[in-house]
Amino acid sequence: MQIARVIAAVANVWRQPQTVSVEPAALDNSGLQDWLGRLTDTDTIALERDNRIVTQALFNDTFAVESVADGWAYGYVTSQKDARHTQGYPGWVWLAQLSLVQLPLQTGPVVTIRRAFTPLLRLDGSTLLILSLGTVLPVIDRRDHLYDVVQTPLGIGKVAKRATQFSFQTANVTRGELLVRLGEDFLDLRYLWSGISAYGFDCSGLVYSLHRCLGISLPRDAQDQVKVGESIALADAQVGDLMFFAHDHGRGAVHHVAFYAGDGWLLHAPTPGKTVTYLQLSATYLKDELVAIKRNW
């Protein structure tokens, strides 16, 4: 297998792209805003119904290429854990969104983008790409008090230090509270099946991405996320804990995950056609489907 790097701001990872019609805008390396702007709520519902997209990968994520066919690469997003595949999360990526150029080995510090979007700049200050929340880049030089110089698959660049910091005060708050406060930045953002970026999240994608911003590595899907972390009793739940819900009144398969936001409230990305929102647990059918509470922070 060859190890590639994602050079798109956000790359959709497709289930079987060769069997469906893909809009060029869905393969745009510069971002997904044009594609998402064309999608109706009916279109977003169809993405889930047909399971066209299985996950996404962010700029500089590694992708282990197993095979190539007709301009597509099949392989694994190595940073996304999947219980069924030890190599990572499997799927197809448009080949033009990957680079096979080997980068210098980096064992030093990294920075993570903690704002919804921020520009990746060339050293001359011009914009190379707009990065999404959760993007991780190795640092080459951080002596500048405004910017970190970073290594990327598109060459040396720089990102504003403020973009790698939280947009709110972090003093005297738990890491669980950080997770929920960061999630509040995406209230009213439209749900996107398989989304892990600031363009849109699904329920487990929101959980995966916000933990990633704190340097906590979780599996990609709710069915795997429920298997990790410290089990917590409902009476002991704290802000930032994860609540998992299963079909058949908690006896079936896990189908949803949400952040506990305190005082009986949840913060979550609900379903296609809806947006990231708060929800009172006692006022929804989910109260009868709660199957586990886990803490990873």
Residues known to be catalytic: 203, 256, 268
The alpha-carbon radius of gyration of the chain (Å, integer) is 19
Run of H or E including 35: helix 33-38
Tell me the CA end-to-end span of the chain in Å, nearest whole number.
34
User: How far apart, in Å, are the Cα atoms of 24 and each of 9, 28, 75, 222?
Assistant: 15, 7, 21, 30
Please give the full DSSP string across 240-269, using - where no structure is assigned: T-EEEEEHHHHTS-EEEEEEEEETTEEEE-
Q: Which residues, 6 or more positions from 275, have their beta carbon under 8 angstroms from its beta carbon? A: 187, 188, 189, 190, 191, 269
Cα separation, 179 vs 23, whole angstroms = 34
Cα separation, 157 vs 177, whole angstroms = 32
Nearest to 75 by CA among 92, 52, 60: 92
